[in-house]
Amino acid sequence: MDQRTENTASMDDPQVKAKSATHRERELRLALVCYGGVSLAVYMHGITKEILKLVRASRACQDASMRSDGTACSYEEAGAKKPDEVDSERIYFDMLCHIKEQVDLRVVVDVLAGASAGGINAVMLARALAYDLSLDEHRDLWLNLADVSELLEPKGRAKLWSKPYMRWFFWGLTQWHKNREEALGALGRNREVLEKLSLFTRSKWFEPPFSGTRMSEMMLDAVTKMGKVGNNPSSLLPKGQVLDLLVTATDFWGHREAIMLHDPPIIDEREHRHILQFSYVQKADGSIKSQLGDDDQASLAFAARATSCFPGAFPPARLAEMDEVVARRKVDWQGRSAFVSENFAALIDAGEDPEEAAFIDGSVLMNKPISLAIEAVQSKAAHREVDRRLVYIEPNPEVKRSFEREVPGFFKTVKGAMSDIPRNQPIRDDLEFLADFNSHVRTQRQVIHAVRPTVMRMITELMGDRLDAAPDVGRLITWRGTANECAARDASYAYDGYARIKVLSVLSDVAGRLQQCARLRDRLESEAAVDAWAWRVGVRPVGNASDQAMRSEGVAWIHFLRRFDIRYRVRRLRFVIRRINELYGELTADSKGGIRLSRAWLNSLKSSLYQQIDDLRNRATWPRCPDRVKEEAIEELLESMALKMGLVDADIGVDQLLAHAGEHCPDKTLWREIVIAYLGFAYYDVLIFPMTQWKTLDELDEIKVDRISVNDANTLRKGSSREILKGVELGNFGAFFSRQFRENDYLWGRLTGAERLVDILASAAPEAVQSGDFNVLESKKRLFLAILDAEAPHLTKLRAQIKSLKAEAEPFSHRLFMARNPFGPALPCRPSGLSGTRDAWPYQLPRRFCPLPCLFRSTHGRRGYFRH
């Protein structure tokens, strides 16, 4: 548990609570997508390290107490646990404390999706976030071990006299002093690169040059060096908030999937895409359900190894390889069986043996897993007002370039078709989906706000003075049934369509669960079985729904919904939670019971409602049957699952919870608002649910998109990834051939991440920028200097560059910026909304010198013998 210093006052102090209660609460939710990039993994590590530091500072700011003299405490005083080297956290902490003068902003990362090099960083960041662990050891891992001399397979490594003619070739290049740097660009300025290229090209050909076993060992070391979770783990996730990690891989052999058609009735296709999934959640009662713990270290290492298995460079990844590594290290892979059963279920159901599966780079078929992140965020619960962001890290973005449009030759065509073009997957379709999604969310919100006065009036007229009666479980049960019947009556024929849609959606949910539980072949087979059962027992067809709802007893479809409709219960609870979040902002100093007691009551009620949602999720989990269930046994299985879920008892449990909360409510006006929201949801759902098209849009939050790229972070130094980063050389393998290149990219990863995170914070809290509480440019300057000072002792190859960058950062606050500011008169940074739009940001530093076309195909030219 975090310790407090003696000179701090508790946040439970009424004056402190009253001050914070007047501020709007907001949660900046980040869903992070990490692209592939081979050796640019070093650059992405710098970015993810900054994200971890921001989230840790945000947690400290939330936990911070005020000093006895009323001033804000420091980052060190906010909490004793600081596993990382502390540098930029202090600045993020100060930024958030200043922002807190206008809005209480909390930063949370709850989704990570990664492919290839980005998948490695997503795995490590997810574990660090789940258990508040350190990434500091990874700096040495990337700088020392991500080198071609460390990665080469020992058996194929070049000996002294291996391919001696290649030695003479590279010796000639190293002696070519006059034109080497001009022709080779960054490659020619670094003798180490040519020496490592000589070693690489003289090693064994026509076999993977890099060692898969060595890579597995490195990934396992990376996971274990983050530290042990222990018996009393901390976390950077709020209680009840699920962290999802999704890592792409490519199953080389694939597995068969059956698809049902009209004619022929069934066809087979082979699926090669594979998603490795992990999650973490600490429930409201303190219990933890996690696949990121100490027992899962080898599972995470395997995911990192599989997703980054670049075709041809590494041998395909297999479970047996990790088994050998953990056996040699004497590591107990306790979570192996659960990992295999949960992540290879599709292979097992198709009759394939996961032990025989071979995985190559996840970026082969899904280099930009934005769609995975979009799917994951749509059902996330909110503790406060949410500013939802999808943030993708693009290490080497496309820029405007002129191409010679000659007919491509044979080798260029084959390479482009097999590698370059498939990896250059557009994200336009995903972004267009998000635009439609956001438009749909805005429409639903408009409907909710438009009908709220009518619903409140109808519930008030329906309940009358009974709403002022003492809270009682029996009354709530009766009121709930009455509200449901009146909603059906008042909606009239609109209720008929609503009821049919709801029945079909619940049947679809049951089919999805049944497919996994009963080990059916595919979703269509499961849906056919459930549909046949529904007609057989009378759930279908739905008759005159509005009339039947008034006499609900004995109506089959109503009985079915009461026993199986989990989503309705979750939607209702989240609707009440959303109303609670709105009530925080409506509290005033003259509220009965005072702001402090009212906020405490709302906090307690919201926490209890989240526990109820957790309970519903647990009830919705159907255990997998040991064998495939035959069709005649499906009805018995569904009956047993309905009894297991016990949703009618869950409804009564929520009524009891609300009644108990009402007895202790310090302000009966608050209790009245909660009851109206709870009972009125039946009216809202008739209008909103048909608009959702069965999708999980319970939170009704728009999703904004931001990019983190060196192209978008030009405050410190102007330039694109091709001008600033070194790992882009040699087809993104460049950083594997030089420590100086790795140091450069790691440093710019931290600098880039810091700048773009400040931009995102500025757009998430524009009122703090407008008021002057948040000085964006000064914050960037402090971050740059803190990072440069902290990394100077470790980046020994960049001493001159760090000195130069510090000289450039020092006079920031005295520069004159003439750009128009969309947030206010004092914002000298690129707003988050202009991500990737460099022309919209007028402040430019002089362009860096661009070398001439080179022999090796560098990022600065297109001519030469080596192209990619």
For the annotated catalytic residues, the residue numbers are: 116, 361
Phi-psi region of 110 (alpha: psi -120 to 50; beta: other; left: phi over 0): alpha
Under a CB-based contact definition with an 8 Å cutoff, are residues 378 and 697 in contact? yes
- 644 close to 575: Cβ distance less than 8 angstroms: no
Query: Any alpha helices (H) in 565-646, and if so which ranges?
Result: 566-586, 594-619, 634-645
Residues 75, 93 contacting (CB under 8 angstroms): yes
Q: How far apart are CA 121 and CA 98, in angstroms?
A: 30
Phi, psi of 123 (to 5 degrees): -60, -50
- Find out whether 70 and 19 touch, Cβ atoms under 8 Å: no
Phi, psi of 293 (to 5 degrees): -85, -170
Residue 230, sorted as left (phi over 0), alpha (psi -120 to 50) or beta, turns out to be left
Rounded Cα distance between 687 and 594, Å, is 36
Under DSSP, is residue 868 helix (H, G, I), strand (E, B) or coil? coil
**475, 469 Cβ separation under 8 angstroms:** yes
Question: Rounded distance, CA 358 to CA 102, Å?
Answer: 53
* CA gap 831, 763 in Å, rounded: 6
For the chain, what's the residue count? 868
Measure CA of the first residue to CA of the last residue in the chain; give whole Å. 52
CA 250, distance to chain mean position in Å, is 21
DSSP class of residue 350 equals T
Long-range contacts (CB closer than 8 Å, 24 or more residues apart) made by 168-174: 170/194, 170/195, 170/197, 170/198, 170/201
DSSP assignment, residue 85?
P
**Bridge partners (DSSP) listed for residue 133:** none
d(CA 662, CA 826): 47
Give the distance from CA 629 to its chain's centroid.
36
Q: What is the DSSP letter of 141?
A: I
Closest CA to 666 of 762, 590, 561, 756: 590
**Dist CA 748 CA 742 (whole Å):** 10
CA separation, residue 622 to residues 61, 242, 359, 519, 625 (Å): 40, 19, 30, 12, 9
Q: How far apart are CA 56 and CA 50, in angstroms?
A: 10
Does the bond joining 265 to the residue before it have cis omega, within 30 degrees of 0? no
Residue 605 corresponds to which tokens in the numbers above? 């009620």
Beta pairing, strands 703-708 & 385-393: parallel
Distance CA 712, CA 703 (A): 20
CB 242 within 8 A of CB 281: yes
Structural contact between residues 608 and 656, judged by C-beta atoms closer than 8 angstroms = no
What phi and psi values does residue 358 have, to the nearest 5 degrees?
A: -125, 130
Q: What are the structure tokens assigned to 507, written together?
A: 């049947």
Cα 384 to Cα 108: distance, rounded to the nearest angstrom: 11
Q: What are phi and psi of 205, to 5 degrees?
A: -95, 165
Determine the Cα–Cα distance for residues 765 and 97; give it in Å rounded to an integer: 12
User: CA 580 → CA 472, 575, 682, distances in Å?
Assistant: 20, 9, 18
What is the sign of the dihedral through the CA atoms of 538, 543, 549 and 550? negative
